[in-house]
Structure 1
Amino acid sequence: MKKLPIGIQSIKKILVKGEYAYVDKTEIIRELIDEGAPHYFMSRPRRFGKSLFLDTLREIFSGNKELFKGCQIYNSDYEWDKHPVVYLDFSKIANQTPSQLETALKVRLGIIAKEYGISIITTDVQVALDTLVVELSNKYGRKVVVLVDEYDKPIIDRLDNLDIAKKNKDLLKGFFGTLKGLDAQLRFTLTTGVSKFSQVSLFSGLNNLTDITMSPEYAGMLGYTEDELKTVFSDHIQEVVKQRGQQGNLVTEEAVIDEIRKWYNGYRFSEKALFIYNPYSTLHYLKTKKAEGYWYSTGTPSFLIEEIKKHPQAIVPLCGTSVLKSTLSDISKIDRIHLAALMFQTGYLTIRGHNPEENSYDLDFPNKEVKDAFFNSLLEEFTEVNPLEVTRVAKEVKKALEDKELESFIDKINAHFAKIPYQIFQHAKEGFYQAVFFTFLEKSGVKTEAETATNTGRIDLVCETSNSFFVFELKLNRTADIAFKQAEEKKYRERYSLSEKNILVLGINFSSKSRNIGDWKGILYSPSGDSVRTYSKNF
């Protein structure tokens, strides 16, 4: 059985002895090279195979044909011309200040030049890049290939200091702007990153740059498809089945695949309904034979939490929200980042549906790993509540809602609010209370949808159980009666009138004085629309 290529970013190490399992992406590479548009950009979440893909390109453009014996490109009509390659990995370039970034870039360009026997004498980083590409092309009589990994790291890493982030962005704008004057010397360029910041000159200067991030034909370029999982890792899946059997848990191969699918599949990057497995987590699962949060635990999304702290109401419509493609694929201002776009580009949300008429996409969490870990992070860093405490009473919260024991349900939610340190509530607005309420429901395993659109407005929150819908209208420092009347006057329950389920319309008013739910009022309607029961409570 072949080894799992965990943490390996060198295609030579994977292929040279044939010791490692390899998901062959070289046919996609050949198509990319042959397409005729030589300058590309693709964003994907971290640890999704970008570095290995770029290293594969480097070896192919270096003409190392025999390395790829047995791969799809080896038996194709690819000509294997050798080109000088400039490879820039921004994860290895210091970026704490703009001057440090500039110095580190110049050092890196100097190292590449030395490897090719070229001397660069300049203090200007843009001139250094220009000189390097021109001299390489002249010396070797071939056009140059430029491969850039994690170009946006100097911006993403510094989002906690917008002044540095903006200065780093401006430096990158000038640096990548140099490439637009080098088209005659360039054979191929591919730049990868986590996000797309459109104001970086990489996107505004190169008119012929092709963004393939959401292109259907390249949706499976990184990560694993289900067919690839079943084919390449069949032996490892059988090992999981065998181990479970030895432990007394008789499972089938399909049951193991179902588990991997639930935890690590679900990423969709285009209108094409092709779902991708997270390669990092999938490999670790096959190694440990345990379903855990591997990818998420490798890096706390501190920049997301900071954005949420600035705009807590933004998390309420996260799952189930619809966003235009232009919003998803572009971040134009680093001081006003669209949270849904940032979470999609960084892998915390993914596409669930596509509306071709609007060219919009429905978003949701990709899988159990991401959803569970994300809400754990929110509880720990946003509310400072131990997620284990919420998990321990999750079944009770969910059952109280299902049984329509609303007083018990509200009491349990208020018990969670009571654990939040009082200073977090300072200057908190309605969106904060909605966000916390939403987070507690999600973590309790209640099926929840936020900001649901109707023909008369937007419902704050909707929950669904086996026999009922719960329509919530939420207010701060008003009254439950006001919240309830709004939901009724806008006829929110009509959206679910054909469901043949009970509908409970509930108005909830939060109190900034008590820092929890102050009062609530609701009416339970039967599937036929008759009023069955009235609920109300003042504290």
Structure 2
Amino acid sequence: MDNLLRKLPIGIQTFSEIREENYLYVDKTAFVWRIANLGKPYFLSRPRRFGKSLLLSTFEAYFEGRKELFEGLAIAGMEKEWKRYPVLHLDLNAEKYDSTQRLNDILSSQLTQWELKYGKGEDEPTLSRRFSGVIRRASEQAGCGVVVLVDEYDKPLLQALGDNALLDDYRKTLKAFYGVLKSSDRYLRFVFLTGVTKFAQVSVFSDLNQLNDISLDLAYATVCGITKEELVTTFIPELERQAVANDMTPEEAIETMTRKYDGYHFHPKGAGVFNPFSVLSSFNKLEFGSYWFQTGTPTFLVELLKESEYDLRTLIDGVEAPASSFMEYRVDANNPIPLIYQSGYLTIKDYDKRFGNYLLEFPNDEVRYGFLNFLVPFYTPMKDDDQGFYIGKFVYELEHGDYDSFLTRLQAFFADFPYELNDKTERHYQVVFYLVFKLMGQFTDAEVRSARGRADAVVKTPKYIYVFEFKLNGTAEQALRQIDDKGYLIPYQSDGRELVKIGVEFSAEQRNISGWLL
């Protein structure tokens, strides 16, 4: 096959299909062997579209002893026995859970398939008793332990968010069902559960407290996703095609891929990983699009942010939090960070060992600007189809030195706020300023600061560097004076571009920009 047209496994989550149909595969089998031979019950949390289903499918093929599928891969030199085990693979990912009966029917249907193979007990009236019976009979018939793989264990719970009664029903059902994995321990060879969230706070795992949660383990930080080393060694032909299609050198293509799709960290010392779905989609389309972000919309998260009145500037610049506050699932209007992190919109960027705090930030530009663009209609009168126009005009005017038009447009932008938004707090308007400048960062070198002692905003274009200072119920003169007094221009004086300082006054009474000075 022409190596320039290799088959990319976009949306294919079955290991055997990838291997038998000659799809490209990033070798993760060394992890599979290590996990399978160093422990027994595991849990792994990762965002959606990150390769969890493929990982479980790889475990399934390994425990079924399908040696031929692993030829040429790392595990071929590690495994000597290739013993076959009974495998019970429960996939909860592709179903719709809208009622208690629906979840019961799906679990019952899966149990029926297993019972057709391993037999059905006479006194097993509940889902959990049936599950326990299947595990015992499968073990006794095979003369060895059983392998249980559960893909997206939390999908029913996630779909019930906002319906507390249904969520409680699902929690009780799944708690009893998954609890079997502890009581049946003597019949089990291996257990692996995956999901987006860890529902410790709602006691789904309270009866399954022996699980080894490897979600933040350094040893398994790259078990899902694509490392930069894997990218540049596995995808050489694809990178070359991508570069040619976008008038880039291969090095520039790698840099753009890194900026767009890299940056996920699942341990502060672990290597960063690229989003695999975005990488494969980008190679397939030969464009640097927003592929992962478009597969799901964070509407629930944004509504939670608005309800909490969480300061978006803190979220955008990075949030410090102990692991206990973002690893365990909870829907808390006062702290939306856990759900935002576990959904994949934030990732670990640093760790303060002394105080035990992690720094959480957007992983990359795809997520950063996708999330910011999604926020805009919730906080401003700007709709989805207006954003490109507004931001494009803002950037164009500053690039051409037309700061008056820029500020006039910004003034008109605030004037378009509906009446009900006019009662928002000062923070709301500060957030809107923040969003506008942050979104301009896609096309310019724009910085927005909230710390004292730094200019409110700095925008760098090919010809100009703008330093903005905004004063709420102050004057433009005071804003300009602060720029001088605080030396905000000093870092840029040797740059060579024209420096422009702009003092802007914002009237709380008018809820708009009331004047500016250059």
Same fold (TM over 0.5): yes
Specify the code of the residue in structure 1 equivalent to 2:12.
I
Over the aligned positions, Cα root-mean-square deviation in angstroms equals 3.5
One-letter amino acid of the structure 2 residue matched with residue 142 of structure 1 = C
1:180 equivalent among 172, 179, 182:
182
Distance change (3 Å), C-alpha of 1:205 and 1:499:
farther
Query: What is the TM-score normalised by the length of structure 2?
Result: 0.84
Match of 2:215 in 1: 213
Of residues 103-112 and 408-417 in structure 1, the stretch that sits farther from structure 2 once superposed is 408-417
Tell me, in whole angstroms, the C-alpha distance in 1 between the residues paired with 2:86 and 2:507.
64
Measured at CA, do residues 114 and 364 of structure 1 come closer, stay the same or move farther in structure 2, by a change above 3 Å? same
Q: Is 1:120–1:131's contact at 8 Å kept on the other side of the alignment?
A: no
1:4 aligns with 2:8: yes
Give the superposition deviation at 1:519: 5.0
Alpha-carbon separation, structure 1, partners of 2:171 and 2:450:
34
Residue of structure 1 in register with 2:446 after alignment: 447
Residues 381-390 or 306-315, more deviating: 381-390
**2:412 maps to which residue?**
415
Deviates more, 1:90-99 or 1:114-123: 114-123
Q: Secondary structure at the match of 1:159?
A: coil
Q: Per-residue CA shift, 1:167-206, capped at 9, x if unaligned?
A: 3234323332332222222222111111222224454333
**Correspondence list, 1:359-374, <5 A:** 359-374=356-371
Q: Which residue identity lines up with residue 253 of structure 1 in the other structure? A: P
TM-score w.r.t. structure 1 length? 0.81
Determine the structure 2 residue equivalent to 1:300: 297
Partner of 2:496: none
1:15 to 15, 19, 24: 19
5+ residue gaps in structure 1?
522-534
Q: Hey, what's the Cα distance between the residues in 2 that align with 1:443 and 1:357?
A: 34
1:305 partner letter: V
Count residues in correspondence.
499
1:129-183, Cα deviation, whole Å (9 max, x unpaired): 2222222222222212221111222222222334433432343233323322222
- Is the 1:496–1:503 Cα contact (8 Å) retained in structure 2? no
Q: 1:93 and 1:118 mapped to 2: Cα distance?
A: 25
Confirm or deny: 8 A CA contact 2:87 2:148 kept in the other structure.
Answer: yes
Change (3 A) 1:463 1:156: farther
Name the structure 2 match of 1:140: 142
More deviation, 345-354/114-123? 114-123
User: How far apart, CA to CA, are the structure 2 residues paired with 1:337 and 1:144?
Assistant: 43
Name the SS for the 1:373 alignment partner.
helix
Distance 1:116 1:381 in 2: 53
Residue equivalent to 1:270: 267
Q: Give the letter for the 2:259 counterpart.
A: K
CA contact (8 A) 1:45 1:346 kept: yes
Partner AA of 1:25 in structure 2: K
2:374 equivalent to 1:377: yes
Match of 1:62 in 2: 64
SS in 2 for 1:361: strand
CA distance in 2, matches of 1:331, 1:168: 18
Counterpart residue identity of residue 337, structure 2: A
State the 1:14 CA deviation: 0.9
Q: 1:149 matched to which residue of 2?
A: 151
What is aligned with 1:438? 434
> Once the two structures are superposed, what CA deviation does each residue of 1:30-55 show, in whole Å capped at 9, x if it has no partner?
1112223x221111111111101101
Per-residue CA distance 1:93-149 (angstroms, 9 max, x = gap): 442123322232222222233244445764422222222222222222221222111
Q: Aligned pair in 2 of structure 1 residues 273, 74: CA closer, same or farther (>3 Å)? A: closer
Q: Is the alpha carbon distance of 1:78 and 1:349 closer, same or farther for their aligned partners in structure 2, counting shifts above 3 Å?
A: farther
Matches within 5 A, 1:115-130: 115-118=117-120, 122-130=124-132
Find the counterpart in structure 2 of residue 464 from structure 1.
Answer: 458
Aligned ranges for residues 222-301 of structure 1 at < 5 Å?
222-244=224-246, 249=247, 251-301=248-298
Q: Distance in 1 between matches of 2:512 and 2:175?
A: 49
Counterpart pick for 1:167 among 156, 166, 169 = 169
Q: Is the 8 A contact 1:324 1:358 kept in 2?
A: no
C-alpha distance after superposition, 1:498-533 (max 9, x if no partner): 85779989786564x75x426579xxxxxxxxxxxx
8 Å contact kept, 2:197–2:329: no
**More deviation, 53-62/75-84:** 75-84
Q: Kindly tell me: are residues 274 and 137 of structure 1, through their superposed partners in 2, closer, same or farther at Cα, counting changes over 3 Å?
A: same
Using a 3 Å threshold, how does the CA distance of structure 1 residues 509 and 188 change in structure 2: closer, same or farther?
A: farther
C-alpha displacement of 1:217: 1.3
Q: CA deviation at 1:8?
A: 0.7
> Percent same amino acid among aligned pairs?
31
> Structure 1 44/498 Cα, relative in aligned 2: closer, same or farther at 3 Å?
farther
Paired residue secondary structure (1:319): helix
Confirm or deny: 8 A CA contact 2:264 2:347 kept in the other structure: yes
Offset, 1:452: 4.0
Q: Are residues 256 and 159 of structure 1, via their aligned partners in 2, closer, same or farther at CA, if it must alter by over 3 Å?
A: same
Select which of 14, 25, 28 maps to 2:28: 25
AA aligned to 1:517 is N
- Three-state SS of the structure 2 residue aligned to 1:344 is helix
